[in-house]
Amino acid sequence: MILIHTPAPREVAAYLDLFRTALPQHVFTDLEGLSRPEDVEYVITWGPPPGLFVGMSQLKGVFNLGAGVDRLLQRDDLAAEVPIYRLLDGGMAQQMVEYVRYGVLGYQRHMDIYRRQQTAGVWKMLPPRLPATVRVGVLGLGEIGGQVARALAADGYRVQGWSRSAHTLPGILCHHGPTGLDTVLNESDVLVCVLPSTPQTRGLLDATRLARLPPGAMVINAGRGDLLDLDAVQGLLESGQLRAAQLDVFPEEPLPPAHPLWRHPAVTITPHVAAITLRQEAVEQISANLRRLAEGSEPLGKVTRTQGY
């Protein structure tokens, strides 16, 4: 038996229909139809409630309806030996490319400044800037971050990338390790973060590291909220060291209504929508993995718990 759960009942119903069509040989259920947790072999989920996995003595694996698995790794009701599989894309990479392109292009064309001028009733043209003069640093060069870096390079921006371990991307200068991170920070007019949340990345972009960015830089965070020190961002915006920020993820979501970044004129806030799982894409990928398991093959997207992704 395979259990499907998300916080939205309509979403669960839609997934049930799609999975039953894709894999008619399997039995799928939701929480309402589950009477014996011990019969569950696989769980397909996003945002599982506390205690969801209690009693699932035959659980063979968990499929996450998204790329970020940090919350699954922090649970006390999911045994360490149970494999976790994440979506490698699920239609998210193209959305992430679009989200980041929006921010980088807005920075290049001074749109953030023009919005503030509009509020102040100021009519002032700024000198044009070509993509080749904008240096973009991409933190995170995995399945999604790699596509973001390649797309920006194809747009003509001067792109460098950073990851914890060494990566190679054709035509893009890639760095890794602490020294490499300092290099990317020092040379990024726009810093794009698409890193996962791991013990090594939490709090990575603190006040000291953010201060390495060139004066007038922009930060785009579409990775995880605990990577970025929001107080440091606010302070650097106020001092003018940062020109703008585009933030999609936060340590606490929703971002509390009283938080000052909501009202900061140089900040664009979006509600964790940079890359949303596309249902059909996710069903196809997870169905293919379930077929691999049935054939005795290794599924794609298996999470290495010690790495956090």
So which residues are the catalytic ones? 224, 272
Local structure of 128: helix, strand or coil? coil
The dihedral region occupied by 47, where left means phi > 0, alpha psi between -120 and 50, and beta the remainder, is left
* Structural contact between residues 206 and 180, judged by C-beta atoms closer than 8 angstroms: no
Q: Which of 253, 258, 259, 219 is nearest to 236 (CA)?
A: 219
* Structural contact between residues 83 and 293, judged by C-beta atoms closer than 8 angstroms: no
Distance separating alpha carbons of residues 50 and 120, to the nearest angstrom: 48
Radius of gyration of the chain (CA): 21
Distance separating alpha carbons of residues 223 and 302, to the nearest angstrom: 19
* Structural contact between residues 189 and 212, judged by C-beta atoms closer than 8 angstroms: no
What is the helix (H) or strand (E) element at residue 186, kind and residue range? helix 177-186
Q: How far is CA 233 from CA 56, 63, 115, 267, in A?
A: 43, 34, 20, 10
Instruction: Give the number of other CB atoms < 10 A from CB of residue 284.
Output: 15
What contacts 8, CB < 8 A, 6 or more positions away? none
Distance separating alpha carbons of residues 72 and 276, to the nearest angstrom: 18
